[in-house]
């Protein structure tokens, strides 16, 4: 086992902050190999003040695809950085339909960055819309593109949430 593979999860997460891109990539690969045990440290890294650390953490969570990270990833859909939001969206997409209800709930709370949230939520919901879910999610997707989404999104998200709770 190499030194890097033997590193603790915390050490590997710290290496995501490094300036050397190849070192960050190797640390990310080792964190993916650790899987579920790394999720807590990675979700904490989603709040790091450095953009590249948040991006690396979200990118790692894409590959791990552990549902335990969904709440933190939904919060990251409001990140000030569009690249971080995009990768957080990709991580939620990797979770599949299990991410839909938490994303809808995220649309029902006051957002610090509503326009960023709406763009990222559209990315996720669009990717996860299946033929079965199209009638429920299309009104939300339309509201997210509405000229005044802060008015249109909450009622459509609430209705979609209620509809999903009634599906078998």
User: What's the CATH code of the domain at 106?
Assistant: 1.25.10.10
Residue 127 CB partners (closer than 8 Å, separation 6+):
89, 93
Report the domain count for the chain: 1
pTM beyond cutoff 0.95? no
For Cα atoms 33, 29, 129, give the angle at the middle one, nearest 5 degrees: 85
With tokens 């000030």, the residue in question is 80
Nearest to 62 by CA among 26, 35, 100: 35
How confident is the model over 85-133, as pLDDT tens digits?
999 999 999 999 999 999 999 999 888 889 999 999 999 999 999 999 9
Q: Which residue range(s) make up the domain with 42?
A: 3-166
């Amino acid at each position: 086992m190499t030194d890097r593979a033997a590193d603790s999860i915390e050490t590997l997460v710290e290496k995501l902050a490094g300036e050397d891109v190849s070192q960050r990539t190797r640390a990310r690969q080792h964190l993916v190999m650790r899987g579920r045990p790394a999720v807590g440290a990675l979700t904490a890294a989603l709040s790091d003040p450095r953009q590249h650390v948040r991006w690396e953490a979200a990118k790692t969570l894409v590959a791990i695809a552990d549902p335990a990270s969904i709440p933190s990833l939904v919060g990251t859909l409001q990140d000030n950085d569009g690249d971080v939001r995009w990768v957080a969206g990709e991580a939620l997409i990797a979770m599949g339909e299990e991410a839909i209800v938490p994303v809808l709930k995220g649309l029902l709370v006051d957002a610090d960055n509503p326009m960023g949230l709406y763009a990222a939520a559209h990315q996720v919901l669009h990717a996860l819309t299946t033929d079965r879910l199209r009638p429920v999610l299309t009104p939300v997707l339309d509201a997210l593109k509405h000229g005044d989404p802060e008015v249109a999104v909450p009622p459509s998200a609430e209705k979609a949430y209620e509809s999903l709770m009634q599906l078998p």
